[in-house]
Structure 1
Amino acid sequence: MTSLKRKDFRLRMLLGLGQTAQVYLAEAPDGQKVALKLPRKEVRQDPRLAERFAREVSLSLSLKHPHLVQGLYGIPFGEEAFLALEYLEEGTLEERLLKGPLNQEEAMRALLQVGQALLFLHEKGFLHQDVKPSNVFVGDGIYKLGDLGTVRPLAEASLEYAGSPHYLAPELFLGAKPSPKSDAYSFGVMAYELLVGKRPFRGETLEELRNAHLFLPPP
């Protein structure tokens, strides 16, 4: 998918360390700053996880929208597997919220832009499955939906949900298949959080969150 290799990027600093990948701020040969995602060895060697990373590479490079984090370069499989993404200098929306709530105008701007990206995915026949502030990336007045590792074609939606319990639609706790409606629910939870300053439902455990989403009235 690209003539560049992992070794062609100069690592600057670690941005994030997850269960499946490490993400670095890196510099491409042309000097461009990128977020360089490197899958862990166990991911590269596990057929199911390797296929998931390869799908993320393919979708990140092929799906183009002003408010989706854009893939720039990538190799899907093998020891040299990587994904270079555009770097948004202000981090994630979750990190931004730790500094204090957004004003209403800024919250509406974020929701409009992320909503456009989510609608684009749905119109293309895909589900995101994990809409939440930590998967929204922030630049100078711009918000982009990222982390396409959970994206699936609607026709391939399975009973194994990929979302985060704080933002998960009630029907998914009951074993229903993900759908555009479940993505919309997650978006709605995030919208409430941005506009009100807290999540609509709280819980310390998966069971508490399940019961809150299923049985508590909307706030």
Structure 2
Amino acid sequence: MTRKDFHLKMLIGLGRTAQVFLAEGGGQEVALKLPKKEVRQDPALRERFAREVNLSLTLRHPHLVRGLFGKPYGEDAFLALEYCPENLEARLQKGPLPLEEARRALLSVGQALLFLHERGFLHQDVKPANVFLKNGVYKLGDLGTVRPLGERGGETVGSPHYMAPELFRGQDPSPLSDAYSFGVLAYELLTGKRPFRGESYEALLEAHLHRPPPPTRLEPALDRGLRRVLAKDPKERMPLKDFLDLLAASPQKKEPPPEEKPRRRRWFL
């Protein structure tokens, strides 16, 4: 299918590099991503969009947003993705997730992130806005910031609330910097608040570089794991797979036992 085969219904997303429309084509609704003119004309941005198209169409995982159709280059470049009606950022605006749903969301996103690492790629922008929900299934999306493992230099990308300390220092990203971003997301979903906050960029930078995450009321092993995956020094940071194993093994919240009805006391005279 080509870009002209889709009927645009409404704008659902607007970023620095692309517009995203809810569109219909081939008998289904899709999220249609259209690069802006400056992206098509800038060599580096053009290659980044082409990479996103190619990866979205080739990488397959049940917890990655699925690419359906696309054209990487040209004036009519586009990417059609499966349409997910809600993202995690919007979901959190309604209130914190129940603990077990938070665990399920994290394990789903973590598996997709680990899949990317095993295929030789970094995501670089793990955050609630890039986690989507479709038919009760959580999926990691937006591969526009993905880069190959080992690629040196280039622009630092990511969202300041979720970026690893070494990225603020100008170092190259790694699977451990993705693990840190995932740790911030995990802390937020499991406790209902972000571990590092600031009224300004400078205050947020200070928190990421120097402040420990606030204590939690999670069970001790999971609390320790969160602190290790949020270690300031990547050499001391828990790898993503180890944290996912810990999260999967942590005790699940048990339902309280049903209340017993008070026994009727009989009196004999």
The residue aligned with 1:121 is: 116
Taking the aligned partners of 1:13 and 1:75, their CA distance within structure 2 comes to 21
Q: Can you list the C-alpha shifts for 1:80-131, whole angstroms capped at 9, x where unaligned?
A: 1000001112x21001101111100110110010000000011111100000
The residue aligned with 2:60 is: 64
Q: Structure with the greater relative contact order (CA < 8 A, sep ≥ 6): 1 or 2?
A: 1
Q: Among the aligned pairs, what percent are the same residue? A: 73
Taking the aligned partners of 2:47 and 2:154, their CA distance within structure 1 comes to 18
The residue aligned with 2:129 is: 134
Q: Is the 8 A contact 1:159 1:175 kept in 2?
A: no
Distance 1:157 1:108, change over 3 A: farther
Task: List runs of 5+ in structure 2 lacking aligned partners.
Answer: 215-269
The residue aligned with 2:100 is: 105
The residue aligned with 2:30 is: 34
Per the alignment, in what secondary structure is the counterpart of residue 156 of structure 1? coil
* Deviation beyond 2 Å, 4+ runs, structure 1: 157-160
The alpha carbon displacement at 1:205 in A equals: 2.2
Per the alignment, in what secondary structure is the counterpart of residue 167 of structure 1? coil
Taking the aligned partners of 2:164 and 2:78, their CA distance within structure 1 comes to 32
Per the alignment, in what secondary structure is the counterpart of residue 27 of structure 1? strand
Residue 17, structure 1, aligned to residue 14, structure 2: yes
Taking the aligned partners of 1:64 and 1:202, their CA distance within structure 2 comes to 35
Q: With the length of structure 2 as denominator, give the TM-score of the two structures.
A: 0.78
The alpha carbon displacement at 1:42 in A equals: 1.2
Residue 78, structure 1, aligned to residue 74, structure 2: yes
Aligned residues: 214
Question: What is the root-mean-square deviation of aligned Cα atoms in Å?
Answer: 1.0
Taking the aligned partners of 2:33 and 2:197, their CA distance within structure 1 comes to 31
Q: Can you list the C-alpha shifts for 1:165-187, whole angstroms capped at 9, x where unaligned?
A: 10011111112110000000000
Q: With the length of structure 1 as denominator, give the TM-score of the two structures.
A: 0.95
The residue aligned with 2:174 is: 179
Taking the aligned partners of 2:78 and 2:185, their CA distance within structure 1 comes to 30
The residue aligned with 1:55 is: 51
User: Rg larger in 1 or in 2?
Assistant: 2
The alpha carbon displacement at 1:203 in A equals: 1.2
Per the alignment, in what secondary structure is the counterpart of residue 150 of structure 2? helix
The residue aligned with 1:146 is: 141
The residue aligned with 1:168 is: 163
Range 128-137 or range 196-205, more displaced: 196-205
Task: List runs of 5+ in structure 1 lacking aligned partners.
Answer: none
Q: Can you list the C-alpha shifts for 1:149-168, whole angstroms capped at 9, x where unaligned?
A: 11011021436321111001
Taking the aligned partners of 1:76 and 1:127, their CA distance within structure 2 comes to 20
